């Protein structure tokens, strides 16, 4: 009996304390839930509850119902609400509302176009196009870099530096080395609107730096101190890269309390990627030869590489979609084909996910660049009549190669909703969509 009374007593004391400290409790409970029930969203129900009205009991009930083993219906908490609430989290507020968008893609997946959607945001965005290019280039010259884990760490550290506006980690990989922090060799500087603004555009020197001029104007070599200052003055940062291989390798970056990172993984139909690479890269000559032979050696390194890429991308997406604790609400999967079909809507979705207001400039850019025809001869051009362009590959890739891709990338295609075709007729029949409706949450 005594024990019973003391339990009741303890409960009463606890409730009184909870009543007073309900704020703290709700914060602590977040942590408990996060630790014990990683498949549930820790924030929405508690943050939504009106604790004054509901009282500590319902708070406790809610807390208990969320612990492992409890059954409940949590399907009704909308993502939109949760996105807003993320900004109120204490653990992540040292970025002062600054958002860091990392666009993860592969070559020929439409990443230039999607990156541009962020680049065009306007004066509050600092965007970098493929800064890891420098790392990859320098390390493939040296011997030490063949370690996947070590390489991932370098990529991560360079990205972290750039998100914090620190160009030092990147600077070590720029070749030739910058002199007095000034370089004419920053890869695709002209793809970054913020690196072509007045503050960072030094006077152009004729001929010498012709190659590195900005699209909108001519600028001299880049002063990295100025680039860093420009970066610091921008509210939001975005980086596009095709070089990160394993989503898990980004965990320390995502958990860095100085950053508020949002990852957008972009995928595309692997048959389209192959078709596009065959058109753009000379290293894909072999595929063309195989297509003519009608014979593809399945154990060839190239085919294995294709399979490896498909598996890697799929496994990263599996990690992201499984919503591990460190990635909750920080991961979004986007299919290029959906962006091509609904560019405005998808752009809005991505901005909403990123927590960045969609700007009139970005809207204008999308309107202009999804309705004009493609500029011929510019392989990297993001100007395209997007929906039509996204399907062109169906008429350029030999069916033999389609069959190979379908064989080695089947799990990838199933996961992302790319329809397998059994014959060439279907492949080139435009009224047959190869895209299954999918929502990725």
Ligand X SMILES: *[C@@H]1O[C@H](CO)[C@@H](O)[C@H](O)[C@H]1NC(C)=O
Rounded Cα–Cα distance for residues 195 and 78 (Å): 38
Q: Does 50 bind ligand X (CB under 6 A)?
A: yes
Select the residue interacting with ligand X from 76, 176, 211, 377 (CB under 6 A).
Answer: 76
Task: Note whether 371 and 304 are within 8 A (CB).
Answer: no
Mutual angle of helices 399-408 and 301-321, in 10-degree steps: 50
Distance of CA 219 to the CA centre of its chain: 30
Select the residue interacting with ligand X from 53, 360, 377, 378 (CB under 6 A).
Answer: 53
Q: Does 230 bind ligand X (CB under 6 A)?
A: no
Q: Does 225 bind ligand X (CB under 6 A)?
A: yes
CB of 12 to ligand X, least distance (A): 24
Site pattern 416..435 for ligand X (x: CB under 6 A): ---------x---x-xx---
DSSP codes joined into one string, 90-150: GGGGGGTT--EEEEE--TTSSHHHHHHHHHTT-TTEEEEE-TTHHHHHHHHHSSTT--HHH
Site pattern 170..209 for ligand X (x: CB under 6 A): ----------x-x---------------------------
Identify the burial level of 101 via C-beta atoms within 10 angstroms of its C-beta, where 0-12 means exposed, 13-18 middle and 19 or more buried: buried
CB-wise, 77 or 284, nearer to ligand X? Answer: 77
Q: Does 75 bind ligand X (CB under 6 A)?
A: yes
Select the residue interacting with ligand X from 150, 232, 289, 367 (CB under 6 A).
Answer: 150
CB-wise, 75 or 282, nearer to ligand X? Answer: 75
Q: Does 147 bind ligand X (CB under 6 A)?
A: yes
Tell me the β-bridge partners of 420: none
Q: Which of 48, 33, 51 is nearest to 82 (CA)?
A: 48
Tell me the window of 61-69, 219-227, 282-290, 331-339 that interacts with ligand X (CB under 6 A): 219-227
Task: Note whether 34 and 89 are within 8 A (CB).
Answer: no
Instruction: Give the list of residues 6+ apart from residue 225 with CB closer than 8 angstroms, or none.
Output: 181
CB-wise, 16 or 432, nearer to ligand X? Answer: 432
CB of 151 to ligand X, least distance (A): 9
Residues forming the site for ligand X (CB under 6 A): 50, 52-53, 73, 75-76, 90, 93-94, 147, 149-150, 180, 182, 223, 225-226, 425, 429, 431-432
């Amino acid at each position: 009996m005594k024990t019973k009374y003391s339990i009741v007593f303890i409960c009463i004391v606890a409730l009184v304390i909870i009543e007073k400290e309900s704020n703290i409790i709700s914060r602590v409970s977040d942590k408990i839930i996060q630790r014990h029930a990683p498949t549930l969203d820790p924030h929405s129900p508690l943050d939504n509850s009106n604790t004054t009205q509901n009282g500590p009991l319902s708070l406790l009930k809610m807390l208990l119902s969320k612990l492992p083993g409890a059954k409940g219906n949590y399907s009704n908490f909308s993502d939109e609400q949760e996105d807003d609430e993320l900004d109120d989290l204490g653990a992540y507020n040292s970025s002062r509302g600054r958002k860091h968008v990392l666009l993860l893609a592969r070559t020929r997946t439409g990443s230039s176009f999607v990156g541009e959607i962020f680049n065009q945001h306007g004066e509050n965005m600092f965007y970098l196009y493929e800064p890891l290019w420098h790392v990859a280039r320098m390390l493939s010259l040296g011997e030490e870099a063949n370690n996947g884990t070590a390489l991932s760490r370098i990529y991560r550290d360079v990205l972290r530096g750039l998100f914090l506006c620190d160009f030092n980690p990147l600077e070590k990989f720029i070749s030739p080395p910058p002199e007095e922090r000034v370089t004419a060799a920053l890869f695709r500087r002209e793809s970054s609107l913020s690196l072509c603004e007045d503050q960072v555009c030094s006077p152009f020197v004729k001929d010498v730096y012709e190659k590195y001029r900005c699209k909108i104007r001519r600028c001299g070599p880049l002063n990295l101190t100025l680039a860093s200052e420009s970066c610091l003055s921008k509210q939001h940062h975005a980086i596009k890269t095709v070089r990160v291989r394993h989503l898990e390798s980004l965990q320390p970056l995502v958990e860095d309390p100085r950053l508020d990172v949002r990852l957008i993984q972009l995928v595309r139909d692997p048959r389209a990627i192959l078709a596009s690479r065959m058109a753009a890269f000379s290293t894909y000559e072999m595929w063309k030869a195989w297509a003519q032979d009608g014979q593809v050696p399945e154990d060839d390194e190239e085919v294995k590489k294709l399979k490896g890429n498909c598996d890697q991308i799929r496994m990263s997406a599996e990690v992201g979609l499984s919503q591990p604790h460190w990635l909750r609400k920080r991961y979004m999967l986007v299919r290029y084909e959906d962006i091509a079909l609904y560019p405005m809507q998808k752009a809005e979705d991505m901005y909403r996910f990123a927590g960045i207001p969609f700007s009139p400039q970005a809207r204008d850019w999308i309107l202009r660049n999804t309705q004009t025809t493609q500029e011929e001869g510019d392989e990297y051009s993001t100007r395209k009549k997007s929906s039509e362009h996204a399907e062109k590959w169906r008429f350029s890739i030999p069916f033999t190669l389609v069959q190979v891709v379908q064989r080695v990338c089947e799990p990838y295609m199933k996961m992302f909703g790319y329809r397998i075709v059994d014959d060439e007729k279907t492949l080139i029949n435009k009224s047959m969509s190869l895209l299954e409706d999918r929502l990725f949450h």
